[in-house]
Chain A
């Protein structure tokens, strides 16, 4: 093959990332503090004002049902995307995307892609609000587990067909050694996780199941070592360091993902109360982040979630409103295959966890999310606080709520949020996998099984048809 032909292929596959790298290298120099405290918040505030969006957050109705308002948010997000671009902390410069490029790239955003193989193959499609098509559910988030629990927990979770893909959990040791960030331990973790994960999926009879990779290493080392071990296509975790920011670590991963035929997932949460300000400006920042992902790094699965900085979750009123508004804006106005996470802060076996799940997943599914990864039991902050039951319950609500009207989703949220909101600042952390399951038989203890069934009935009583998990029910 001539070099010219090779270059053409490379341009096709990697040109977008090379272009972004060039922009990062030559873009306007700005300190990160100036970006965080002045440029970003002031621009978001200006845009919100121009589009008449300030003070539109209605916490009495956490799920928006006004399509015109969602469309206005989309327009504001589009404007913010053009004015801001992504900040690159490595070069301390801005990667701008002008209107012509944004429009051209926006037309190319794929509305579906495939990952997994054989029986595990799934097509992930963009959805609209109240879409009757079931969204795709991936489990769990990268919650830290003891090394010896990785296989049994993963096996337990993916033994339910409600789980379409696997992402977490994450390791914090590798064969007894500490998994230190930015070191060769991470390189090994990428390899080690592959072996543990494929064994768990084999035991669960889920050969060919798709994955979101790599979950146990945050820097690029684990990704570079692990991603190419899997049969493609898979989902590549090329997460941003923060919303409206992208760095060299992400670009490292994107090159490899593209070359291997992976599908890039990229995001980072916006924080209500943080640099993006209140719920309205935070929703705009999330929309802008999602719009920019494909033009800047080729992500086909973006989805910047919004967390409330006061408790680092998003199942309270402000969190639900912000996230469902941003979701509806994108789902109504684009082909973007939207993924956002729901961050529960209560832990396994506490009723609050199930209530948070009903609220977060119902709002997400009805608002048009195409894909999610969950659970984040105990806010992801308690080691081993994750069992298969939370994953199955999340999946059942997320899929069961497909097709619900926004009004119905709002009604459900209004009924359930008061059951737990006073505990958001100091949530119960629940119990661990060892406390709640027999690790050898992978059966839940009777009390937890009973609670799970009771909570499934509760969700049904609210009007959410709960699909069976195929394991217990």
Chain B
């Protein structure tokens, strides 16, 4: 089995113990960082995504694959050619204040991670302050907020208003999602993007990275 295939299998299996050694072996063998990402990592993640849709692998495997991919990217970052970027963008994600429903948010975080985004997951019940502080500290591209509870969705609007009031709105693309959230609601509160499902969040996030904050709106529903 070639080294890229071994990397693919390691990512698919979430093999955190061996992934770094395999990547080093590939680099030592003169394989470019770009090829390691594309032909080792991305191929594995595509397989994971397809198998997840067919209920052949599940969220834990997807998360472990995502974690491995993150390790791979960190390892090859110094070897990327100038102008290349290892990550598609940096995303701060969390459930709005008062909302403890973790699974939808975790699935989106995982889907984004396995598709090349650098994801910082703040967990559940995240205050508006914490979203903003972390986005500032991490120089995020996207702030993604999830709410299953209608009583928590208001905090999405609060976040956008706070960013606007503090003159920071143009720095971040704001994505929202969750059970009660719709395209109409996302537009109404001034978000930049909405996706109906976790799978679709990847398309949305890629769309967001092609636009400037507040200049357009990306809604992916099917």
Partner of A186, one of B63, B125, B151, B181: B151
**A312 touching B100, Cβ below 8 Å:** no
CB contacts under 8 Å to B, within A112-149, are 144
Contact with B along A192-231 (1 / 0, CB 8 A): 0000000000000000000000001111000000000000
Residues 102-126 of B contacting A (Cβ, < 8 Å): 102-104, 106-107, 125
B side interface size, CB within 8 A: 34
Encode contact with B along A12-47: 1 for CB under 8 Å, 0 otherwise. Answer: 000000000000000000000000111001000000
Q: Is the CB of B155 within 8 A of A180?
A: yes
The reply to whether B63 and A37 form a contact with Cβ atoms under 8 Å apart is yes
User: Could you tell me if A218 and B60 are in contact, using CB atoms closer than 8 angstroms?
Assistant: no
Decide if B55 touches A181 in the complex (CB within 8 Å).
no
Pairwise interchain contact A273-B60, C-beta atoms closer than 8 A? no
**How far is the CB of B119 from the nearest CB of chain A, in Å?**
14
- Type the 1/0 row for B185-197, where 1 means its CB is closer than 8 Å to any CB of A: 0000000000001
Please name all residues of chain B whose beta carbon is closer than 8 Å to the beta carbon of A426 when the two chains form the complex: 221-222
A395 at the interface (CB under 8 A from B): no
| Segment of A74-82, A375-383, A448-456 in the binding face | A375-383
| Residue among A38, A178, A189, A382 with most chain B CB within 10 A | A178
Q: Is the CB of A180 within 8 A of B98?
A: yes
Return chain B residues, CB-CB under 8 Å to A186.
151
Q: Which of A37, A181, A272, A425 contacts B149, CB < 8 Å?
A: A181
Residue A53 is within 8 A (CB to CB) of chain B in the complex:
no
Distance of B78 from chain A, by nearest CB (Å): 28
Report the separation of the CA atoms of residues A260 and B151 in the bound assembly, to the nearest whole angstrom. Answer: 26
Q: Which among A41, A180, A217, A425 is the interface contact of B58 at CB below 8 angstroms?
A: A41
Least distance between B195 CB and chain A CB atoms (Å)? 12
Per the CB 8 Å criterion, the residue count for chain A at the interface is 45
Say whether B151 contacts A381, CB under 8 Å.
Answer: no
Which of chain A's residues have a CB closer than 8 A to the CB of B58? 41, 273-278
Q: Check B180 against A241 for contact (C-beta < 8 Å).
A: no
Q: Is B97 an interface residue (CB 8 A)?
A: yes
CA distance A172 to B149 in the complex (A): 10
Per a CB cutoff under 8 Å, which of A172, A182, A276, A277 touches B150? A172
A10 within 8 A of B: no
- Establish whether residues B59 and A381, one from each chain, have CB atoms under 8 Å apart when the complex forms: no
19 pairs, CB–CB < 8 Å, chain A vs chain B: A36-B60, A36-B106, A144-B180, A178-B154, A179-B150, A181-B96, A182-B97, A182-B98, A218-B152, A219-B98, A219-B151, A247-B100, A273-B58, A275-B58, A275-B59, A276-B58, A278-B55, A309-B107, A379-B179
New A-B pairs, 12, CB < 8 Å, besides A181-B154, A273-B59, A310-B53: A37-B60, A144-B150, A179-B150, A180-B155, A219-B98, A273-B52, A274-B103, A274-B107, A309-B59, A311-B197, A318-B55, A382-B182
Interface residues of A (CB under 8 A from B): 36-38, 41, 89, 144, 170, 172, 178-182, 185-186, 189, 216-219, 241-242, 247, 249, 271-279, 309-312, 318, 379-383, 425-426
